[in-house]
């Protein structure tokens, strides 16, 4: 199974400042035939299902603010919130959908400092 | 508008059975792979299993933690997805979500609101 790890477990950032979350997979999730990394980022707020922010490691889902960006390839990935807003307080998960069993990182809780 | 609505959750004793349903609307269910994902209270997300589309013979795969106890099925004519759960354990207590797999990107954009399963005596 592909194990997903995230760091940090939690972080507190001032409004308008940058938040960076790291995600690592235990093996490459780069699909050679199409050069796509099968890595997604989700935002989850209490009582709600996860919301897809980024797929293919760096493709922003339609309607997602451009302050959210994803980067990385192979086994190392990053979600960046360039200017944290109050509505961004949530738990963020990375997720590999390269190979079953599909697995998630443990989550990173983002709060306002 | 795509909608996924789960139902069938509730309280069940350890060792019992429960069947969850997911009503799909706003898209052609038969085209899509569908997944179940669960989340225990205050915990992370855990993939439960997948059922592929008709073109892929409706094959299924499961997480090791539920294999041989859970069965995913679908009735495309009724726009419905199912999760039959047997031999339930306390650790199966969670909110269960049905999820649509995107045809192009394989990403998981559409999620239901979830249904709570509580396994307790």
* Coil, strand or helix at A32: coil
Q: What is the DSSP letter of A64?
A: -
CB-CB neighbours of A81 under 10 Å: 21
pLDDT tens for each residue of B15-35: 999 999 999 999 999 999 999
Q: A63 CB near a chain B CB, below 8 Å?
A: no
Paired sense of beta strands B110-111 and B10-12, if any: unpaired
User: In chain A, which residue's Cα lies nearest the Cα of B115?
Assistant: A49
How much is the pLDDT for B66?
Answer: 98
Q: Are A25 and A96 in contact (CB under 8 A)?
A: yes
User: In chain B, which residue's Cα lies nearest the Cα of A39?
Assistant: B107
Q: Return the H-helix or E-strand segment holding A58.
A: none
How much is the pLDDT for B3?
Answer: 98
How much is the pLDDT for B53?
Answer: 95
How much is the pLDDT for B60?
Answer: 98
Alpha-carbon distance A74 to nearest alpha carbon in chain B (angstroms): 17
The distance in angstroms from the start CA to the end CA of chain B is: 40
CA B69 to chain centre: 13
- Sort B109 into a burial class: Cβ within 10 Å, 0-12 / 13-18 / 19+: middle
Nearest Cα neighbor of B101 from B18, B22, B36 is B36
What residue ranges of chain A have pLDDT lower than 70? none
Q: How far apart are CA A94 and CA B1, in angstroms?
A: 26
How much is the pLDDT for A27?
Answer: 97
How much is the pLDDT for A10?
Answer: 98
How much is the pLDDT for A64?
Answer: 98
Q: What is the mean pLDDT of chain B?
A: 97
Residue A69 vs residues A20, A83, A93, B6: alpha-carbon distances, Å:
10, 11, 14, 31
Q: What percent of chain B has pLDDT over 70?
A: 100
Provide CB contacts within 8 A for B59, sequence distance 6+.
B51, B52
How much is the pLDDT for A28?
Answer: 97
pLDDT tens for each residue of B69-94: 999 999 999 999 999 999 999 999 99
How much is the pLDDT for B52?
Answer: 97
Contact B105 A104 (CB under 8 A): no
How many contacts (CB atoms, under 8 Å) link A and B? 49
């Amino acid at each position: 199974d592909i194990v997903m790890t995230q760091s940090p477990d939690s972080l507190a950032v001032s409004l308008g400042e940058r938040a960076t979350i790291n995600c690592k997979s235990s093996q490459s999730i780069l699909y050679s035939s199409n050069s796509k990394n099968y890595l997604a980022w989700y935002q989850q707020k209490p009582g709600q299902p996860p919301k897809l922010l980024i797929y293919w490691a760096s493709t922003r889902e339609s309607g997602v603010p451009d302050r959210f960006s994803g980067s990385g390839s192979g086994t190392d990935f990053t979600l960046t919130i360039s200017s944290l807003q109050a509505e961004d307080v949530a738990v963020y998960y990375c997720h590999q959908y390269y190979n079953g069993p599909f697995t998630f990182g443990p989550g990173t809780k983002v709060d306002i400092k | 508008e795509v909608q996924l609505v789960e139902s069938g959750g509730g309280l069940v004793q350890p060792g019992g059975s429960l069947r969850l349903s997911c009503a799909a609307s706003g898209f052609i269910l038969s085209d899509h792979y569908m997944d179940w994902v669960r989340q225990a209270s205050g915990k992370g997300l855990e993939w439960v299993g997948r059922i592929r589309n008709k073109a892929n013979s409706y094959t299924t795969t499961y997480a090791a933690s539920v294999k041989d106890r859970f069965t995913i099925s679908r009735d495309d004519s009724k726009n419905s997805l199912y999760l039959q759960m047997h031999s339930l354990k306390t650790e199966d207590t969670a909110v269960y979500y049905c999820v649509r797999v995107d045809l192009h990107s394989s990403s998981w954009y559409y999620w239901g609101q979830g249904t709570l399963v509580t396994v307790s005596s």
